[in-house]
Amino acid sequence: MKKRILSIFLAMAISISFITVEILSVSAADSGIDWSLDDDGLLIIESDAGMTDWTRNGRGVNRLAVRSVIIQDSVTSVVDSAFWYCTGLTSVTIGNGVINIGNDAFSGCIGLAEIIIPYGVTSIGAQAFEACIGLTGITIPDSVTSIGVRAFFGCIGLTSVSISNRVTNIANFVFSGCTGLTEIIIPNSVRTIGSWAFENCTKLTEIIIPDSVTSIGVGAFENCAELRSVTFGNGVTSIGDYAFSGCTELTQIKVSADNQIYSDIDGVLFNKNVSFLWQYPPGRQGGYTIPDSVTSIGALAFSYCEGLTSVTIPDGVTSIGSVAFGNCTGLTSVLFKSQTPPTFRPDVFRNVPSNMTVYVSIGAKAAYQAELNEFNIVEGEPIIGDCNHDGRINIADLTYLKRVVVGYMPEIFVNRPECWLTDESKRTQKPEAADITRLKDFLTGKISSL
């Protein structure tokens, strides 16, 4: 995930560096076949021949002098790279005759704040508006049927987008890195959402996937840091890896009851018969008990669930996918109900706390130690209040807890959920004075339960 973030910012840094080292040319009048550029930087293009001649012969010398563009109705195509890195361009009028906006057509036009795409345009090419960092809003008319890869990649100023209801595919990386985008409405015409299509759209808070969508690509919403809720329609049959990785505020994944492949229980994503756990919302806090029907936990299912503190894995689970609990930095205990360890794919517990406690059934310690020897393995289920793990709650636990709170115990003994007896200690994952009082009250009979 971090590599993907780095790649985007590196690409942006290269683009900005390229812009800043350019020597700005002096605005000067020029003209060619069916195009003219005046002293104020107004470029008028009168025909397709003019568009081609400008791109081939005029743009190289004059692109930094261009401030505004008028494309007349007689032009049918904004050709590839027509206004590539015209960094001073602030205003564009596209004629009603244009049906195609080519690859890289406005890429790097950092001063462009608004553009109206007329009805009649049917396709927007790859990287067409990439790195137009000043662009704040865009309406894609219903005539458009195709939007190319990375078309709006890195448009960090873009806050809203209206997509044509004839677009069937949201291409790979198309809105990736649009960090200002707060809302996106996916129309019912869309069938597929490409890989990393909305990656790093850090201001998105809600996504509703319509019934028409059947496929969601790899990393489609990766690192959407403020995304809190996702709703799937009944048509989704495929969700790629990393689709919601790094969505650290996501707490709800809802699925239509009519979906034949996926389902949810209390906002957690499963397959239809709840035998495979696909995705636990990374923004949730506290512990989680996996349903008894589950037999497999998918790769990355709990990845980056930094608020997850404990998990109970039922005895029917036979396999756990790669990096399933990777980077669960708050995970302090895992309870396995099965006597036989499941099949562990590589790095199941990558980057979890080294003092995490693994609880296993009586007699199963040796089997689990062979698989998870880097962790403290304890036989028997955790008992709240049994701070010293002797299977009983007595005065020895109170003594132990006091030593923990005042800092006499090594760090490896601190993060034990058996010692978190108050809401505050559960939140901070570290016992404190209030826990001592609560345990004392329990031992002296002032309270009946912990």
pLDDT at 420: 84
DSSP lists the bridge partners of residue 216 as 193, 239
The answer to whether residue 13 scores a pLDDT higher than 60 is: no
pLDDT at 389: 73
What confidence tier does 409 reach under pLDDT thresholds 50, 70, 90?
A: low
The answer to whether residue 120 scores a pLDDT higher than 90 is: yes
Distance CA 43, CA 65 (A): 9
pLDDT at 23: 36
pLDDT at 55: 96
Does pTM top 0.85 for this prediction? Answer: no
Contact 326, 347 (CB under 8 A): yes
The answer to whether residue 18 scores a pLDDT higher than 50 is: no
Tokens 């080519």 correspond to: 102
Distance CA 444, CA 442 (A): 5
Tokens 């960094």 correspond to: 87
Q: Across residues 141-161, what is the average pLDDT?
A: 96
What confidence tier does 21 reach under pLDDT thresholds 50, 70, 90?
A: very low
Per residue in 179-226, pLDDT (tens digit) is 999 999 999 999 999 999 999 999 999 999 999 999 999 999 999 999
**CATH number attached to the domain at 1-142:** 3.80.10
What confidence tier does 164 reach under pLDDT thresholds 50, 70, 90?
A: very high
pLDDT at 91: 94
Burial classification of residue 119, based on how many CB atoms lie within 10 Å of its CB (0-12 exposed, 13-18 middle, 19 or more buried): exposed
Higher-confidence position of 49 and 11: 49
Per residue in 300-340, pLDDT (tens digit) is 999 999 999 889 999 999 999 999 999 999 998 899 999 99
The answer to whether residue 143 scores a pLDDT higher than 70 is: yes
Q: Any residues with CB less than 8 A from the CB of 344 and at least 6 apart, and which?
A: 320, 371, 372
Compute CA distances 12 → 6, 99, 133, 178, whole Å: 10, 29, 10, 12
pLDDT at 22: 42
Q: Write the DSSP symbol of residue 121.
A: B
- Residue ranges, comma separated, of all CATH 3.80.10 domains in the chain are 1-142
What confidence tier does 3 reach under pLDDT thresholds 50, 70, 90?
A: very low
The answer to whether residue 29 scores a pLDDT higher than 90 is: no
pLDDT at 6: 42
What confidence tier does 281 reach under pLDDT thresholds 50, 70, 90?
A: very high
